[in-house]
Amino acid sequence: MEDYGKGVECYQTSLRVDARHYNSWYGLGMIYLRQEKFEFAEHHFRQAYQINPLSSVITYYLGTTLEALKRSEEALEMMEKAIVIDNKNPLPKYSKAKLLVTLGKLNEALEILEELKECTPRESCIYALMGAIYKRNKKYDKAMLHFGIALDLKPSIVDVAKIEAAIEKLIIPDEMEESL
């Protein structure tokens, strides 16, 4: 287990020397994000963002924290800002697609994921999310195809279990599952 206490102490010491040291605000935000203390994380990421609004990394993590706080619209806004700052970074784009799915904007999410497939074709999470969207749109053949591609790309064990569960639900539709 990481020693968060020493990290907090070091960052706070740094901030006593220079209160505009955005890396220290960001570092504290990361510690609190990892500890799932999202309100504290938001405060520290906002401080870092106010000092350095052109950092796509700070902007992304502020958006991630807002997403964890179930503030999807604000999180989406931050992801869009992170994309404008660094259009080549696929992480904010993927997070934006996930947020769009949460907000029920499936076609917009698919457009982003299609773009991501071109620049990061070996990321299983992109195909898995596309499969989930196609499933929600009742396009089961496309869902199965994308889930299969996701599995072929050797995802983590946790993701394999999620993808296999999604495939199983394609094979046994929810209505039939309820009657069992």
From first to last of its 180 residues, what are the pLDDT tens digits of the chain?
468 999 999 999 999 999 999 999 999 999 999 999 999 999 999 999 999 999 999 999 999 999 999 999 999 999 999 999 999 999 999 999 999 999 999 999 999 999 999 999 999 999 999 999 999 999 999 999 999 999 999 888 889 999 999 999 887 765 544 444
Residue bearing tokens 């700070």: 58
Angle between helices 90-102 and 124-136 (to 10 degrees): 20
DSSP of 74-120: HHHHHHHHHHHH-TT-HHHHHHHHHHHHHTT-HHHHHHHHHHHHHH-
CA end-to-end distance (rounded Å), the chain: 43
Q: Domains in the chain, ordered, with CATH?
A: 1-52 (1.25.40.10), 70-120 (no CATH), 122-180 (no CATH)
| Contacts of 165 by beta carbon, 8 Å cutoff, 6+ apart | none
Q: How many CB atoms lie within 10 A of CB 176?
A: 10
Handedness of CA 18, 19, 23, 27 (dihedral sign): positive
Note the pLDDT of residue 179. Answer: 43
